[in-house]
């Protein structure tokens, strides 16, 4: 996958211009990419929330706020060239403050579930907040999605940093997490995660974007077609925490190795699907290194989203309950109107020795990249 990075940079105020000279035998022109900053609103304690607008020369753009490092808009062309916002979100700061679904947020320290909120590290027992049934979810009561991140614009990238103190939400170690967003001329959204700690701790972060390729607030996503390059999922117990077992997808509703609609097998009585009534499972992505993990597409809009990652897993979540907070344009987001593709290590990995480790140590900083490429077909 070729990525487009622009050179010969110039920076001024809150606007970033990146110029690249392109020449052939007959002409020479300059491409300009812009990142602009504006005020989005304030938190309930009066802190300013900033919005960043990343736009390429075709007019496709992404918007991100520093509250929760959240994706708020992804506007790309459909097959007819019409702009479509494919990312669910909210119109006001108050709505983001009231959100309990992590719309567009970077979640951590540990994304998804830790069973009973309990783990042992270096012989010491830790008890975290229980905020999802009997389990700990997405980093706790006040996760990374509910904080204002430090931000800066550098070259053609938007960089957010979060400093998480030792003991915050019950986790050990002072952690520094940096998330770098990029937006290319080829409509590629890149997300680079980097982290370091001064003591052993846990880390499993992801971007919790909710997508509808027909446009946020439109029809159900059950007619979207999906491919996932995974032969296995991690089995869930009744509390939705992993058991430690791997289940083959062959012959089950979790087999997306041949692309089909999300809703095709949703009436299945297969136990892992039936008892939860939706997809909210970790898929074990085949292969290693930076690779294609999934493809989501809509025949209605002609928009295709291809997900690349170096992570071992991806959580497929099809929202099976309405989002209570009113969305953009006064939209009520109903059941099955969005899908999440959350690249990650496996949930509850700290409690399963057969899962890839999520222990972060001072001598081994964390670095991981995920990329979503938007195209048409």
Say how many C-beta atoms besides its own lie within 10 A of residue 300's C-beta: 15
Catalytic residue among 136, 208, 281, 373: 208
Does residue 342 have an active-site annotation? yes
Q: How far is CA 214 from CA 61, 98, 146, 240, in A?
A: 16, 26, 28, 29
272 three-class SS: helix
Please count the CA atoms within 13 angstroms of the CA of 166 that sit on its side-chain side.
6
Active site residue 55: no
Among residues 342, 281, 266, 270, which one has the least CA distance to residue 103? 342
| 322-339 burial: b if 16+ Cβ within 10 Å, else e | ebebebbeebebeebbbb
Residue 194 to residue 171: CA distance in whole angstroms: 18
Catalytic hit among 63, 168, 216, 342? 342
Rounded Cα–Cα distance for residues 230 and 150 (Å): 36
3-state secondary structure of 3: coil
| Beta-sheet strands, E only, within 108-241 | 113-114, 118-121, 124-127, 136-137, 150-154, 157-164, 175-183, 188-197, 201-202, 206-208, 225-228, 230-236
If you count them, how many residues does the chain have? 377
List, by residue number, the catalytic residues.
208, 342
């Amino acid at each position: 996958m070729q990525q487009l990075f622009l050179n010969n940079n110039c920076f001024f105020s809150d606007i970033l211009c990146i110029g690249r000279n392109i020449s052939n035998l007959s002409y020479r022109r300059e491409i300009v990419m812009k990142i602009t900053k504006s005020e989005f609103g304030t938190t309930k304690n009066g802190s300013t929330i900033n919005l960043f607008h990343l736009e390429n020369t075709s007019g496709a753009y992404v918007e991100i706020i520093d509250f929760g490092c959240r994706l708020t808009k992804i506007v790309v062309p459909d097959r007819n060239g019409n702009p479509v916002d494919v990312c669910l979100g909210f119109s006001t700061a108050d709505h983001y403050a009231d959100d309990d679904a992590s719309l567009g947020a970077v979640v951590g320290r540990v994304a998804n579930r830790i069973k009973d909120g309990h783990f042992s590290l270096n012989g010491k027992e830790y008890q975290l907040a229980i905020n999802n049934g009997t389990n700990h979810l997405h980093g706790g009561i006040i996760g990374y999605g509910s904080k204002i991140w430090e931000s800066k614009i550098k070259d053609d990238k938007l960089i957010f940093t979060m400093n998480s103190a030792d003991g915050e939400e019950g986790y050990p170690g002072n952690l520094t997490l940096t998330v770098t967003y990029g937006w290319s001329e080829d409509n590629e959204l890149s997300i680079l995660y980097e982290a370091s700690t001064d003591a052993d701790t846990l880390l499993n972060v992801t971007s919790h974007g909710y997508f509808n390729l027909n446009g946020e607030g439109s029809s159900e996503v059950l007619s979207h077609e999906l491919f996932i390059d995974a032969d296995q999922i991690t089995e869930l117990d009744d509390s939705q925490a992993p058991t430690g077992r791997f289940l083959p997808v062959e012959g089950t509703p979790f087999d997306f190795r041949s692309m089909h609609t999300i809703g095709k097998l949703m009436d299945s009585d297969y136990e892992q699907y039936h008892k939860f009534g939706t997809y909210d499972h970790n898929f074990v992505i085949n292969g290693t290194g930076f690779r294609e993990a999934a493809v989501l597409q809509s025949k209605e809009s002609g928009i295709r989203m291809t997900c690349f990652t170096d992570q071992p897993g991806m959580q497929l979540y099809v929202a099976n309950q309405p989002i209570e907070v009113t969305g953009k344009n006064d939209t009520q987001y109903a059941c099955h109107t969005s899908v999440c593709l959350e690249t990650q290590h496996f949930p509850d990995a700290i409690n399963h020795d057969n899962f890839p480790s999520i222990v972060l140590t001072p001598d081994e900083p964390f670095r991981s990249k995920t990329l979503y490429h938007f195209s048409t077909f």
